[in-house]
Structure 1
């Protein structure tokens, strides 16, 4: 199998480990706030960083965006665990605007905005990072439905290079493609009368639609434990069951025929598998070290895997060569809002140029997504 550490130039590894060698961590860690970036500036928390004891700042080569769901906020932390940016600050929301339970957040292709799903408030928002302003929303906050400008538990909205948005709409049993600035979908796959696996006509509680191969997307279905590759025209390429997974969440491509998913369960797990459902790597610690409802895992440029471990109130970085946690932000089992604490962190993304959409383009340079 090919190395997760370098999707642009994969290297062979053993069957026991997704990568053959541990990258050196002797260089200084990135602050995640380079020149000209809109989150550049002093840390917004007092004093030094707030990492869990034993964390290695060199394990995080870039800044990290976290959707801190139960705290109703987004934050960007650097490798030392310092908050560099947050939303909303006092005054960021205009009269009448709300920002509740953000469960997923990703950078847009231009790197200047963040797209957020507020799943339990039935709305998708786009936030300008520099101005801290909401510049677009789709959905009616606090009111669910299936008509124009309506959603019912949207999940993992992603903005494509043309400014359009794709999203899973879980309780409406459908996928949506929304053109830039629109308030009605351009394409709909599935609908409320579905609830079972028959792509592209019906879906069983889809909770993710992530760009993968050129013009294609990976759809994760909770009901039935399915992952399906589908084009934007609705052509189904393949479907498989993530092996040994009870509640699949947010499957994304990490290399040629290599797919990464989490099991949103207790104990939870992280699994890399092929399109035929063959397992390549599994992280499933037990006992006190067990994951508790992890909902998203992403690969990092150095080969480590970052994951939000929702009910354990933390975001962790795992070295898949040793299966050890090498970096942690958040206090295990203890929710909070002070620097170093999280409360049900349910989404994350790496700061550009290492974000999910950036990585997709590197994996598939010809992708139209």
Structure 2
């Protein structure tokens, strides 16, 4: 069983150390080397060992996706297979069709969130316990940009402290939540400068956008607004790029919110509770009330520290990254039964059909893998 590598709740007696007080704060400006444990290295550099097909061209986007595969999973998914230090793309019929293995564990290790760029040609990746961010080119399978210093935590120039979430925005800038620095950053990869910062290191309280209480999610919405998740008191806020708070709500019945997303219609919010047993909640920010919930206390259907949940387009079903059970599942919206699963429950590995602490995913609505694979038969 993997340990919880997300940020734990901190008692008040430890806040000074956690917020890097005094001399420790000054040292953090220059960076502090981190001891790399065997758990952080995971399985090392691994691969599925498959001969992979050539990817089809990009012909769709999020507004006009390629042809759907239908229920139970309408599109292939790219998965951040964290402790295998790789990204893999899996089709709805559970074939691995694309893979990016770590080129070097010294700077690429522990990928935990992954999302396509708006044009589908790049992938934004965050690495919490490697303290860095990456852009991966999908076609060439290369790292084209890195921000942060591997194995070094801090808050000074180009330093991060447990960055969670990774998105490339329409204007090419990179969005991330820098959890332990209690800030959300928008970084310009062209200049390597911070374009926007919400929150301040050492000031971890809920008063967005001035201060944030341990933010671990920052998700762009269709109109450019950003959903920010804060761990303390399960706050979810919608904030414009200009820094205006549209609304701010407690996620109902959630102890540890992880990476809130808008529902497919953009009107509600879906969020995973990173707990054991875990749960998934959909709520209406207009009222703050739950409209749907998945929760099982034990057994095969129970979740163990799910880090991400999203409503699937077309079907309305829910896909969940169930981190510590080493699986990704699709839950039927009406029956609340698991109708699709990749990974063998509670079993870690890197051969086809297995993962090792999956921690993030995105839908590949950009490439017609269904048509490409059928034409090869």
Contact 2:238 2:246 in 1 (8 A): yes
Runs of 4+ in 1 over 6 A off after TM superposition: none
Alignment partner of 2:213: what SS? Answer: coil
Q: How does 1:1-369 map to 2 (within 5 A)?
A: 35-37=56-58, 58-88=71-101, 93=103, 98-212=107-221, 214-254=223-263, 255-275=265-285, 276-288=287-299, 289-301=301-313, 302-353=315-366
**Is the Cα–Cα contact under 8 Å of residues 162 and 180 in structure 1 kept in the other structure?**
no
> Take 1:141 and 1:193, find their aligned partners in 2: how far apart are those partners?
22
Give the structure-2-normalised TM-score: 0.76
Structure 2 vs 1, CA of residues 35 and 72 (structure 1 numbering), >3 Å: closer, same or farther? closer
Query: In structure 2, how many angstroms separate the alpha carbons of the residues matched to 1:271 and 1:143?
Result: 35
How big is the shift at 1:123?
0.6
Name the count of aligned residue pairs: 302
| Residue in structure 1 matched with residue 19 of structure 2 by the alignment | none
The CA deviation at 1:189 is 1.2
Contact 1:126/1:137 (<8 A) preserved: yes
Deviation of 1:134 (Å): 0.5
C-alpha distance in structure 1 between counterparts of 2:204 and 2:81, whole Å: 29
Alpha carbons 1:33, 1:63 under 8 Å: kept = no
Structure 1 Cα separation of the partners of residues 220 and 98 of structure 2: 26
Partner residue in 2 for 1:12: none
Deviation at 1:148, TM superposition (A): 2.0
Residue 107 of structure 2 contacts residue 130 of structure 2 at CA under 8 Å; is this kept in 1? no
Distance 1:249 1:146 in 2: 22
Cα distance in 1, alignment partners of residues 88 and 266 from structure 2 = 32
TM-score, L = length of structure 1: 0.78
Are the counterparts in 2 of residues 57 and 80 from structure 1 also a CA contact under 8 Å?
Answer: no
Match of 1:59, SS state, is coil
**Distance apart, 1:326 and its partner CA:** 0.5
Contact 1:148/1:185 (<8 A) preserved = no
Provide structure 2 residue ranges, at least 5 long, that are not aligned to the other structure: 1-52, 60-68, 368-377
Q: Per the alignment, in what secondary structure is the counterpart of residue 232 of structure 2?
A: coil
What is the SS of the residue equivalent to 1:201? coil
C-alpha distance in structure 2 between counterparts of 1:351 and 1:120, whole Å? 26
Asked if 1 retains the 8 angstrom alpha-carbon contact of 2:231 and 2:256, the reply is yes
Q: Match of 1:339, SS?
A: coil
Cα distance in structure 2, aligned partners of 1:101 and 1:326: 28
